[in-house]
Amino acid sequence: MINFSAYRREWFSNIRGDILSGIVVALALIPEAIGFSVIAGVDPRVGLYASFAIACVSAITGGRPGMISAATAATAVVMVTLVKEHGLQYLFAATILMGIIQIIAGLAKIGRVMRFVSRSVITGFVNSLAVLIFMAQLPELIGVPVATYVMIAGGLAIIYLFPYITKAVPSPLVSIVIITLIVWFTGMDVRTVGDLGALPDSLPHFMIPDVPFTLETLQIIFPYSITLAAVGLLESLLTAQIVDDMTDTPSNKSQECLGQGASNIASAFIGGMGGCAMIGQSVINVSSGGRGRLSTFVAGAFLLFLIVALNDLVRIIPMAALVAVMIMVSIGTFKWRSVLDLRKNPLSSSIVMLATVATVLITHDLAKGVIVGVMLSGIFFAGKVAKLFSVKTSPKDTNGTVTYTVEGQIFFASAESFIEAFDFATPADKVKIDVSQAHLWDITAVGALDKVVIKFRRNGTDVEVIGFNRASADMIDRYALHDKAEREAASASLH
């Protein structure tokens, strides 16, 4: 159920801060949206319309207030082949299917998977993204007039020093306005937004993708849609987690999946490409005072107002002013403390963080970096848990019985050590295996117990296994190969 009181607060508790921060984000979205359109091989208006639709719709339907979603590089690179081989209309169709898949993921509560992403992976994700944001500015820093460097330095000075004067207005917005006025009055020959490409001069209109509604079309778009949906959700959920940390507020990850799906469907129906959350713009928004849904909505709505109503004014904004803002974002996003903590943190955590960063920087693919980080985290975690078990052996009693007391977690990573803990060479009339302080997690653990019991019996030793908890008894009852009657008795005692 929606808590309407909380939802209302998310819209109207920070009106002034959200409006001003939304304006800053809208200005920063323009070159990004145009650049991502170029990456995808489509007209700039496709990225700009997408950023408008995704931001506005996700503001209403998303689960993370204050987070900015729009057209992104992560999704743009997936679209290149589809656009090249089948055309723009198939991209719109794939984006609609992408949204449907994301809505299904939201209904399935897939947002819960974020609990499996370790802090080391998130730190690596943030650091690599900070580096990528800076690298994306290099074309505007190499082979440009000296005046450009002066403007960028001046912009950064305003961004960092203006808050000492007042925090009533976001310093990035002040920086953009001042640098634009300086360039306009002095007539400096620097690169501007207008040099990136043609901006749309009309409002978007509703459209249905002009593709045949056939199984063949579905076969063409489905692989792209599933990839777009996965990449988009992964980046959005990670960005939501980062904004949670920055604002010290929770978010509804499953609702965010629904919001991303709805916003992508809306984008496609007005001629936009697919997108997802943007950590750079989200950091700009939060750093500029944005906290609520209104900031995201203003970013999208003001973006459309800028490119349609203030087309001529937007064209003269120097790229140097926007580059200064993005460099600020890069510096603020990078977790500088994590570099110092490399020597303090456990080696496994440091390896996970560095592997995540290295993978992203090598592949320029955030999703691959996160996947590598999560896999390494899982491997290291399994290794740690595998060591959290022991098998204690009691001396043979007067009846010739040796008791083995098992403590801890038995699963695929600890199964081999579990088998090696038993002494099959020393004769005993009877062996009692007490697992009351242990848990068997998987069929590998059940198979290990089978091997131990069967091996003792082959040596002529009577074996009794006692102390199964309910979950372990169910596993044994379903999958074990040793004495069926014994297993049924163990299971019956718990049911």
Tens-digit pLDDT profile for residues 100-143: 999 999 998 887 776 777 788 888 888 887 888 788 788 888 88
Residues 454-471 have pLDDT tens digits of: 888 888 888 888 888 888
pLDDT of residue 365: 73
Pairing assessment for the beta strands 389-393 and 401-410 based on DSSP bridges: antiparallel
Give yes or no for residue 491 having a pLDDT over 60: no
pLDDT of residue 14: 93
Cα 109 to Cα 359: distance, rounded to the nearest angstrom: 28
Residues 31-76 have pLDDT tens digits of: 778 777 866 778 888 989 999 999 999 999 999 999 999 998 778 8
Per-residue pLDDT band for 483 (boundaries 50, 70, 90) equals low
Cα 173 to Cα 177: distance, rounded to the nearest angstrom: 6
Q: Would you say 240 and 253 are in contact if contact means Cβ atoms under 8 Å apart?
A: yes
Q: Helix H segments across 288-394?
A: 293-308, 311-315, 319-333, 336-340, 347-363, 366-386
Q: Would you say 3 and 271 are in contact if contact means Cβ atoms under 8 Å apart?
A: no
Per-residue pLDDT band for 488 (boundaries 50, 70, 90) equals low
Residues 327-368 have pLDDT tens digits of: 887 888 788 888 888 888 888 889 999 998 999 888 877 778
Q: Would you say 66 and 251 are in contact if contact means Cβ atoms under 8 Å apart?
A: no
Q: Does the pTM exceed 0.75? A: no
